[in-house]
Amino acid sequence: MAKILGIGNAVLDTLFTVNHYPDENEELRASQKQQLVGGNINNSLYVLSQLGHQCAICTSVAADQEAKQLIAGIKERKIDTTHVQTFIKGRTPNSFITLNSQNGSRTIVHYRDLPEISFDFFAKIEIEDYDWLHFEGRNMQHLPGMLNIAKTFLDEQPISLEIEKPREGIEALFPQANLLIFSHHYGTAKGFNDGETLLKSMQELAPHSNLVCTWGEKGAWFCSPGGEIKHQVAESIDHIVDTLGAGDTFNAGLIHSLNESKDLQQAVAFASQLAAKKIRQNGLDDLLTEKNSDHPLANIKQVTNAKTTVVESLDGTSVVLIKFEGKIKAYENNCPHQNVPLNEAYKIDVNPFDNTMKCSVHDAFFNIEDGLCVEGPCWNESLKSLSIRVDDKGDIYLLSE
């Protein structure tokens, strides 16, 4: 579980579901009307809070009636609103969204007449209290200053930046972030045909950052600093229900996974699965609710770094749990050497000095941190790492793939 501060936009969304996209000047009856809270950062934080993180939003709000509704909605999402800046001048940002039930497309008309967070307001936040800062690439007046203090005062904590739309001068800020997430809207607006060519050009601007670019059904491209550009295929989805907030969900999945010390490839894979799950359902509520969620694997109190805990998930998967540097690691209980459980012959011995654990069958040693076999018959192969969520009671849940 991490403390995450998101800096960006909070919006009141009015969503009309229609059975086809209207023609210009057509009068069409909607089958459903929903009033939701939205905005990219607010949505990403909501998903992160469902993934077990403690989230806070830094955003601006108006002083009108709708602002009360907006703040209540954010609180309901279990997002801390301590760092919300109220402006007397301006009105609550609104989006009117047409959701086409035939293909899940969402067409957004956005209204905004509200100042963005001021630099002075942001500068008073104790950002050192957070484990991760995630910025929306907007507020070009103050974003450079905010990123600058974040970069200056934070040594360990990652800074991520979402680049959804082109904005004058934003490219100069890229080196300030550890993780840059580009949308295909930005890519196409900048004249790129796919994420690969976009990232190639971005590698020159931000050689020390992790780069990710999503491109709808074409999948996502990603690269670590100095690394080659790789591609993640998009999951095929039989029935697209609702794409609103899919990108925000992807970003949350990425942050969650990287915070769990997964590598970029694993994180992009997890983020894509989570976004696909979102697209198959309406809204963002109960995104992680599934059959596993009623059945925790274990409680963190049962998991230590001195020995492994082997448990079985609801679908019969045997799972190895162990603590490493304060975080819970979960691996499928299957040795890649002969596809047998690691505890087939005896218990899984842990060596706390070199942080490895040993398969009891043919003495393969695996790093506790990432599951890589560092000695033994399956050298350089890895245990399958599993995604988990820890709730506020310390119960550990397996997330479905």
Q: Name the residues that contact ligand FRU, by CB under 6 A.
A: 11, 13, 38-40, 43, 95, 108, 110, 244-245, 247-248
State the greatest distance between any 2 C-alpha atoms of the chain, in Å, as a whole number: 73
- Residue number with the shortest CB distance to ligand FRU? 38
Q: Which is nearer to ligand FRU, 92 or 273 (CB)?
A: 92
For residue 43, give the nearest of 389, 290, 274 by alpha carbon: 274
Could you give the CA distance from residue 271 to residue 265 in angstroms, rounded to a whole number?
10
Q: Which is nearer to ligand FRU, 13 or 80 (CB)?
A: 13
242 close to 260: Cβ distance less than 8 angstroms = no
Could you give the CA distance from residue 210 to residue 203 in angstroms, rounded to a whole number?
9
CB 11, min distance to ligand FRU, A? 4
Alpha helix stretches (DSSP H) within 154-304: 184-189, 195-205, 246-259, 264-279
CB 27, min distance to ligand FRU, A? 24
CB 262, min distance to ligand FRU, A? 24
For residue 245, give the nearest of 204, 211, 282 by alpha carbon: 282
**Measured CA distances, 107 to 10, 66, 129, 242, 283 (Å):** 18, 22, 38, 11, 15
Q: Which is nearer to ligand FRU, 36 or 357 (CB)?
A: 36
CB 201, min distance to ligand FRU, A? 25
Q: Which is nearer to ligand FRU, 161 or 298 (CB)?
A: 161
CB 174, min distance to ligand FRU, A? 21
188 close to 166: Cβ distance less than 8 angstroms = no
Contacts of 265 (CB under 8 A, 6+ apart): 222, 230, 232
CB 328, min distance to ligand FRU, A? 30
Helix and strand counts by DSSP (H, E) for the chain: 8, 23
143 close to 135: Cβ distance less than 8 angstroms = yes
Q: Which is nearer to ligand FRU, 189 or 345 (CB)?
A: 189
CB 365, min distance to ligand FRU, A? 45
For residue 4, give the nearest of 83, 111, 98 by alpha carbon: 83
**Measured CA distances, 78 to 9, 56, 126, 239, 361 (Å):** 17, 9, 20, 30, 46
CB 291, min distance to ligand FRU, A? 28
Q: Which is nearer to ligand FRU, 60 or 95 (CB)?
A: 95
Q: Which is nearer to ligand FRU, 214 or 334 (CB)?
A: 214
Reported residue count of the chain is 401
Alpha helix stretches (DSSP H) within 80-194: 119-123, 143-153, 184-189
Q: Which is nearer to ligand FRU, 132 or 250 (CB)?
A: 250
Q: Which is nearer to ligand FRU, 77 or 358 (CB)?
A: 77
Task: State phi, psi for 195 to the nearest 5 degrees.
Answer: -70, -25
CB 293, min distance to ligand FRU, A? 25
SS3 label, residue 284: coil
CB 209, min distance to ligand FRU, A? 23
Q: Which is nearer to ligand FRU, 38 or 376 (CB)?
A: 38
